[in-house]
Amino acid sequence: MMRVLGIAGTAKNTGKTTTLLEVLGYLSSLGRRVFVTSIGYDGEDFDNITGLPKPRVFIPEGTLVATALPLIQASSVKFTDLQDTGVRCALGRVFVGRASAGGKVVLAGPTSTRDLLSVMKFAPKMCTVLLDGAFSRLSPMVVAGALILATGAARSPDSHRLAREVEIIGKIMSLPVHGFFASGSSPGGDPGSAGRTINVEGGLFLKGQGKELGWRLIADGPGQTVVYVRGIVNPAVFDETLSELEGYRRDPVVFVISHPILMLLSGDVLAWEDVLCRAEEMGFVVAVGSSSELLGVTINPYRPSYESATGRFVATYLPPRTFLDDIRNLTSVPCTDIILEGPEKLRSWLHRYVEKQNS
Amino acid sequence: MKCKSDFPNSRPERKKIVLAPLDPVHDVGLKLIRRKLVERGHEVTLLPPDLSPEEVVARAKALEPDFLMVSRAISYGTSELLAKFVDLCDASGLRERTKIAAGGLSMRPEMAQELGFDAGFGPDTPPEAAVAYVEGREAQAVECERPMSKVDLTAGFSYEFRDKEIGDLCLRIARQLVNWAQDKTSPGVERARLRLDMEEARAAGDEKAASEIREKYAGLCGGEVERWYRTGEPVAHTRLLSDREIEEISRLKEGGHSGDYPRSQDILARYNVFIQYGTGCPVMDAYHINLSLAFGARGVIHFDPSWGARTEGLLEGAWSHQHDGTVLTLDNLRLIKNALLPGTMWQVRAHRGLNTPETVILAHLAGADLTKINIVYGSLGAGTDPARLAVDGIESMRLAARFGLPYDVVTNEELCGVPAKKAFAGMLIVATAGVLLGGRPILQPLFANSPEAIIAGLTEDNFIDFNAAKMEVLREIIDAPIWPGAPVGFLTQSQDRCQSSTMTALHAALALKIGAQAVTIASSDEAYAGGPITAPARVDTLKTTAAALRFFGSAGISPSRKAKDIAQELRQGILDVLKAVAERGDFVASLYEGLLGDKEDGAYPGRAGRDTVKVK
C-alpha cells in the first residue's frame, strides 16, 4: 500500500533537506520503492534568500521523482519512464521520472494540496511517498499519514520557546480522532448519541467568527452538541467561542476540527496551550476528523545571521548539545539532532513507522 | 522574464482578478498591473493595503477570482509570512479554483516555487508579463526580445563632406597617403596574403600547399612567434586549450540560454552598446560575452595581448593566455564566434600593430562584422612605426573594403595628451583614405576627460560640453557614422564601482542621446581592475547604462552654450592641423614630425617595425 510521509519544517533552514536525505537513504536501504517530491523548491546549491550553501538532494537509483521538467532536463541524473502529470508549478510542468542512477536533483513539485493529490496519482500503489516541505508550509501535509517535523535555531534561538512549540504541536497532532467525521459521513445529519450538530464551513480564522459560533451554541440551548469545523482554526478566534460560552453553557460540546494541521496555519501556535487547557477546564472536547502521526522532531542549531556591515548572511550555530538537551528536556515529543547524534534515532522512528504499517 | 509590450489584438476571455498588497508601501506595482488588466477588459479588485493575510484570503474567497495576485518585498522574515499566506490559501480551499501569484522585490520564479505560489514576478518583470500570465499566454509572453538581427552602423551615411574646406584638405592628404603606399609593402602585408592563401589551401584540403605557405609565413615572423613556428615552443604565458575547455564553449551555446533576460536588456535592445572582452582565456571570454549579451550588450570587441601588436606574426591553434588579451588566432576567433548568440555584432580590432592586415583577414575568415583600423593612434600612441603602419593600414583598409567589413577609426591618442584637434584631423584623414579605398569607416571620437580637457579646464564644470562638442563638430564636417569609445568615460572613472559605473553610464547615455550610432563601454573595474576583469563588473555598467538611458528617455540631454564655443574652436583647430599636414605634403612625414601629435603632447612615433617597409 502507498504510505505518505511528510518532512515539514517550522521555518526555512531548520534542516528539512538533511532530514529528507536521511529518510530517503534509510527507506532505500530497506529496499522500499520511494516516490519523492517537494511542495516547494529544494536541492539548489545556494539558498534563495540568504545565498548560503545548502545541502544538495541526492537520490538513490530507482527513486521516482516528481519535479518540474526544466529541472529534470538540467539534472545530471538520467530519468526514464517520464510522465507528464498535467500539473503546472511556477517553474514549469511537473513530470514524474525514474532515476536510472543515483545523483543530484532539484525538487520543485506541486505546491497546493489539490495539485499534490493529482501528482500522487502517478505514484505506484506499493511505495512510500516522501513529501519534502518548504519554509514553514504545512497545509499540503494533510495528505501525509505521518510527519517528521524539522525545527531549530532558524525558527527561534530560544530553546524554551521551541520546546513549547514542539510540545503543543505534538499535543495537537495527538488530539483524538472523532470517528464520525473521519468516516466521511456528512456531518449535520443525525449524530446519534452525540446530540445536535453545528457545521462550520470555511473555518474559524477571522476575528468575530468565534464569537458568532459562541452565540449559536448558546442559542442552541442545553444538551450535547458536536461542532464540525471544516477549515483553518485560529487559536485566538477559537478562544472567542470559549469566552462567549464562559458562564453561559456548561453542557458538553465536542469541537471536531477536520485535521490538526489546520490548527497550525493561523495565529501563534503557542496560544493553543492556554486555549486547549481552557476548553478542557470548561468540559469541552477538542478532537480532529483525521490526523497525521508525528513520528518525531529533528533539531537544527544552524541559524543564518544577517551582518549589516557586509550586507550578507553568515552561518552561525548554537551549541548543539545544549540546544538539543534544553529542548528534549522540556518536551515529550521524540527529538534528535541528526548531525550531532547520527541518524539512529530518526531510523528508529522510521523503523517503528514501517513496522506499524506492515502490521 | 521578458514580455512583449504589445498585446494581441483579440480580446481575451474576461478573467476575475483580485490584487492584494501584503505590504502597505508596495502596492504601486499592483496598481500598474490593475491598469493594464482593466485596459484588457478584465474584472479587477484591488484590496486595501492594511488587511491581514487571513482577511485577504476571506475576501478573495468571497469574490471567487480566477487569480489572486499579491505583492510583498521579500526578506528572511517576510518570506515566512508569504509561505503562511500560501498555506492559508490552500487550506481555505481558495486554490481549488484560484491561481495565486506573488510579485515584489527579490521575487523570482524559484522563490515563488519555494514559497508555494503558482507564479512569481520580480522587479525586472514588466506588468505585461502578469497580464500575459492571467490570459494564459505565458508561452508567447516569455519570449526573448534580444535583437536577433545585426545592425549596419554605416547604413544611410553618404560620407560626403559638409565642410568643404576641411573635406578638400582631407581628400588631398588622403590621396597622397594612398599614393604613397601604393608601391610599398611590408612583412605584415606579405603575411596577410600568405595567411589568406594558406587558409584557402586548408579549406580546399590541400595540406601540402598549406604547409609550404606556412613555411614561408614562418620566415616572415619574429621573436617568440617565429620560435613557435620553428620549434613548437609556446610563447611565454600561453598554453593550448584542452579538449574539455573547447567543448565547454560549445556547451555554453547549446544549453546556456533560457530565453529569460534581465530588464536592462529591454532598454539596451534599442541601442548599440559594445563591450570589450579579452580575458586571455577564450572559455572565460565566452562566459563574459554571454553574460554581457544577457544584460543587453549588442556587440562585443576582441582584445588581443599587447605583445601581439609588437611581434611579427600570429600564432595558430586555440591558446589561453595568462595575462590580459586573448591570443589572436583563427582557432580562438572561431571558438569565440561559436559562443556568440544570433544578432551579436562582433568586432575584431586590428588597428595598432604589426599584424594589422592579417587581423583583418582573420576577422573576415572568422565571420566578424567589424574591425578597427587607425594609422595615427597606432603610430603615435601604440608603438608602431608610422611608415610601417601607414603601409599596413592602407592594405588593411583595402582588405576591409574587399570583405565588406566596416571599421572604426579610433582617436585614443588623446589619452596620451594629443589634443582633440590633432587626433580628429588624423582620424578624418584615415577615414577619408578608407572611403577612397571603397571602405565604410566609422568615426570614433574619445568620450573622456582627456589630459587636454583637464589642463585647459574644458571639463571643469561638466563632462557634457566637451564631448558633445566633439560629436557636433564631426557631424558638421562629414556625413559619417559616429561610435564614441573606446571605451567611453576614460579618466573619469575611479576604483569605486558605483562612481565608475555611473560615469560610464552617463557618458554612454550622452553619446547615444546626441545621436551616436553605437558606444563602447568598460566594466566598472576596468580602469582599476588590478587583476582580471570580473563578470559582476560587466553587469554593473550594462545595468547602469540601461538605467541612465531609461532616466533620460526621449527627454535628451542639452549641452550648454560652451559646447558650441568648443566645437567652433575645435573645427578651427582641425582645419589648422590639416592645413599644416597638407602643406607638408607627406602624411607619413607629418606623423614623424609631430604635426598630428608631438612629444610635447605626449605622442611618440613608434619603433616596432621600423625600416621594414619595402618598395615592391
As a whole number, mean pLDDT of residues B433-444 equals: 98
At which residue does the C-alpha cell 579538449 appear?
B243
* B603: phi then psi, degrees, rounded to nearest 5: -105, 130
pLDDT, tens digit, for every residue of B276-305? 999 899 999 999 998 999 899 999 999 998
Which of A46, A137, A290 is the best substitution to test chain B (most B C-beta atoms within 10 A)? Answer: A137
Q: How far is B139 from B142, CA to CA, in rounded Å?
A: 6
Cell digits of residue A13: 533552514
Cell digits of residue A182: 473521519
Please give the C-alpha separations between residue A176 and each of A62, A180, A182, A255, in angstroms, as whole numbers: 38, 12, 11, 11
Instruction: Judge contact between A45 and A17, C-beta under 8 A.
Output: no
Question: pLDDT at position B2, please?
Answer: 46
- The neighbour count for residue A78, using CB atoms within 10 Å, is 12
pLDDT band at B145 (very low <50, low <70, confident <90, very high): low
Question: pLDDT at position A186, please?
Answer: 45
Q: Percentage of residues in chain A with pLDDT exceeding 70?
A: 96
pLDDT band at A180 (very low <50, low <70, confident <90, very high): low
pLDDT, tens digit, for every residue of A231-290? 999 999 999 999 999 988 778 899 999 999 999 999 999 999 999 999 999 999 999 999
The larger pLDDT score, comparing residue A141 to residue B6, is at A141
Does domain A3-174+292-358 fall under CATH 2.60.120? My reply is: no
At which residue does the C-alpha cell 456548561 appear?
A250
Cβ-based contacts of B55 with chain A (< 8 Å): 206
* B50: phi then psi, degrees, rounded to nearest 5: -110, 25
Number of CB pairs, chain A paired with chain B, less than 8 A apart:
122
Cβ-based contacts of B54 with chain A (< 8 Å): 205-206, 232, 234, 266
Cβ-based contacts of B133 with chain A (< 8 Å): none
pLDDT, tens digit, for every residue of A288-306? 999 999 999 999 999 988 8
Predicted confidence (pLDDT) at residue A221 exceeds the cutoff of 80: no
Is A234's CB within 8 Å of B54's CB?
A: yes
At which residue does the C-alpha cell 609588437 appear?
B310
Q: How far is B467 from B490, CA to CA, in rounded Å?
A: 12
Q: How far is B480 from B156, CA to CA, in rounded Å?
A: 9
Min CA distance, A72 vs chain B (Å)?
A: 14
Q: Percentage of residues in chain B with pLDDT exceeding 90?
A: 73
Predicted confidence (pLDDT) at residue B262 exceeds the cutoff of 80: no
Predicted confidence (pLDDT) at residue B271 exceeds the cutoff of 70: yes
Cell digits of residue A340: 550531532
- The DSSP bridge partners found for residue A199 are A228
Cβ-based contacts of A232 with chain B (< 8 Å): 54, 88, 91-92
pLDDT, tens digit, for every residue of B34-63? 999 999 999 999 998 888 999 999 999 999
Question: pLDDT at position B1, please?
Answer: 43
Q: Which of A261, A189, A210, A208 is nearest to A232 (CA)?
A: A261
- Label the pairing between strands B345-349 and B370-372: parallel
- Where do the DSSP E strands lie in B284-405? 299-302, 319-321, 345-349, 370-372
Predicted confidence (pLDDT) at residue B323 exceeds the cutoff of 90: no
Q: What is the DSSP string of B363-396?
A: HHHHT-SEEE--HHHHHHTS-B-HHHHHHHHHHH
Question: pLDDT at position B32, please?
Answer: 86
> Per-residue b/e over B340-354, b at no fewer than 16 CB within 10 Å?
bbeebbbbbbbbbbb
Question: pLDDT at position B482, please?
Answer: 98
User: Which among B89, B96, B113 is the nearest to A41, CB-wise?
Assistant: B113
Which of B1, B50, B54, B72 is the best substitution to test chain A (most A C-beta atoms within 10 A)? Answer: B54
Predicted confidence (pLDDT) at residue B140 exceeds the cutoff of 60: no
pLDDT band at B155 (very low <50, low <70, confident <90, very high): very high
Element (H, E) at B138: helix B138-141
As a whole number, mean pLDDT of residues A14-24 equals: 94
Q: How far is B192 from B370, CA to CA, in rounded Å?
A: 17
- Comparing A267-281, A312-326, B196-210, B245-259, which segment has the lowest mean pLDDT? B245-259
User: Which among A136, A306, A313 is the nearest to B80, CB-wise?
Assistant: A136
Q: Is A319 on the interface with B (CB under 8 A)?
A: no
Please give the C-alpha separations between residue B514 and each of A75, B483, B544, B550, B554, in angstroms, as whole numbers: 48, 11, 18, 15, 11
Q: How far is CA B515 from the centre of its chain?
A: 16
Q: How far is B533 from B277, CA to CA, in rounded Å?
A: 9
User: Which among A140, A142, A266 is the nearest to B88, CB-wise?
Assistant: A266
Predicted confidence (pLDDT) at residue B76 exceeds the cutoff of 70: no
Q: How far is B203 from B218, CA to CA, in rounded Å?
A: 20
Q: How far is A280 from A284, CA to CA, in rounded Å?
A: 5
Question: pLDDT at position B97, please?
Answer: 93
pLDDT, tens digit, for every residue of B539-581? 999 999 999 999 999 998 999 999 999 999 999 999 999 999 9
Give the mean pLDDT of chain B.
91
Instruction: Judge contact between B393 and B410, C-beta under 8 A.
Output: no
pLDDT band at B322 (very low <50, low <70, confident <90, very high): confident
Min CA distance, B517 vs chain A (Å)?
A: 39
Q: Is A113 on the interface with B (CB under 8 A)?
A: yes
As a whole number, mean pLDDT of residues A315-326 equals: 94
The larger pLDDT score, comparing residue A31 to residue A185, is at A31
SS3 readout for B489-507? EECCCCCCHHHHHHHHHHH
Give the mean pLDDT of chain A.
91
Q: What is the pTM of this model?
A: 0.66
3-class state of residue A305 by DSSP: strand
As a whole number, mean pLDDT of residues A303-319 equals: 85
Q: Is A91 on the interface with B (CB under 8 A)?
A: yes
Instruction: Judge contact between A62 and A98, C-beta under 8 A.
Output: yes
Can you tell me the ipTM of this complex?
Answer: 0.90
pLDDT, tens digit, for every residue of B196-217? 999 999 999 999 999 999 999 9
Q: Which residues contact A198 (CB under 8 A, 6 or more apart)?
A: A213, A216, A217, A220, A225, A226, A227, A228
Which of B74, B84, B90, B107 is the best substitution to test chain A (most A C-beta atoms within 10 A)? Answer: B90
At which residue does the C-alpha cell 612615433 appear?
B605
Instruction: Judge contact between B281 and B320, C-beta under 8 A.
Output: yes
Helices (H) and strands (E) in chain A, counts: 11, 17
User: Which among B92, B106, B112 is the nearest to A231, CB-wise?
Assistant: B92
Cell digits of residue A1: 500500500
* B512: phi then psi, degrees, rounded to nearest 5: -70, -35
Cβ-based contacts of B80 with chain A (< 8 Å): 11-12, 135-136
Question: What is the biggest distance separating any 2 CA atoms in chain A, rounded to whole angstroms?
Answer: 66
pLDDT, tens digit, for every residue of A54-107? 788 899 999 999 999 999 988 888 999 999 999 999 999 999 999 999 999 999
Instruction: Judge contact between A48 and A41, C-beta under 8 A.
Output: yes
Min CA distance, A40 vs chain B (Å)?
A: 4
Domain ranges of chain B: 16-141, 161-183+373-481+560-606
Instruction: Judge contact between B595 and B580, C-beta under 8 A.
Output: yes
- Comparing A189-198, A218-227, A323-332, which segment has the lowest mean pLDDT? A189-198
Element (H, E) at A317: strand A312-317
* A173: phi then psi, degrees, rounded to nearest 5: -70, -15
The larger pLDDT score, comparing residue A44 to residue A232, is at A232
pLDDT band at A188 (very low <50, low <70, confident <90, very high): very low
Instruction: Judge contact between A211 and A244, C-beta under 8 A.
Output: yes
* A132: phi then psi, degrees, rounded to nearest 5: -90, 125
Which of A12, A37, A48 is the best substitution to test chain B (most B C-beta atoms within 10 A)? Answer: A48
Q: Is A118 on the interface with B (CB under 8 A)?
A: no
For residue B177, the one-letter residue type is L
For residue B399, the one-letter residue type is L
**Cα dihedral sign for B389, B394, B397, B403?**
negative
The larger pLDDT score, comparing residue B190 to residue B71, is at B190
**What's chain A's Rg over C-alpha atoms?**
22
Min CA distance, B50 vs chain A (Å)?
A: 15
Tell which A residues from 169 to 188 touch B, by Cβ distance under 8 Å.
none
3-class state of residue B608 by DSSP: strand
- The neighbour count for residue A98, using CB atoms within 10 Å, is 18
Predicted confidence (pLDDT) at residue A215 exceeds the cutoff of 70: yes
Listed in sequence order, the DSSP H helices in chain A are 16-29, 69-74, 113-120, 159-173, 179-182, 209-219, 235-245, 271-281, 320-329, 338-341, 344-358
pLDDT, tens digit, for every residue of B349-394? 987 899 999 999 999 999 999 999 999 999 998 899 999 999 999 9
Q: How far is CA A188 from the centre of its chain?
A: 28
Predicted confidence (pLDDT) at residue B219 exceeds the cutoff of 50: yes
CATH tag for B16-141 (out of 1.20.140.10, 3.90.330.10, 3.40.50.280, 3.40.190.10): 3.40.50.280
Please give the C-alpha separations between residue A275 and each of A235, A286, A337, in angstroms, as whole numbers: 7, 10, 30
Instruction: Judge contact between B106 and B54, C-beta under 8 A.
Output: no
Q: Which residues contact B218 (CB under 8 A, 6 or more apart)?
A: B226, B229, B230, B313
Q: What is the DSSP string of A181-204?
A: HHTT--TTS--GGG-EEEEEET-B
Long-range contacts, B595-598 (Cβ 8 Å, 24+): B595/B422, B596/B376, B596/B380, B596/B418, B596/B422, B596/B423, B596/B425, B596/B426, B597/B376, B597/B380, B597/B381, B597/B413, B597/B416, B597/B418, B597/B422, B597/B423, B597/B426
Compare all CA atoms of chain B with the CA of A114 and give the residue at the minimum distance: B96
Domain ranges of chain A: 3-174+292-358, 179-288
User: Which among A48, A90, A262 is the nearest to B117, CB-wise?
Assistant: A90
Is B116's CB within 8 Å of A306's CB?
A: no
pLDDT band at A307 (very low <50, low <70, confident <90, very high): confident
As a whole number, mean pLDDT of residues B299-327 equals: 92
Is B113's CB within 8 Å of A231's CB?
A: no
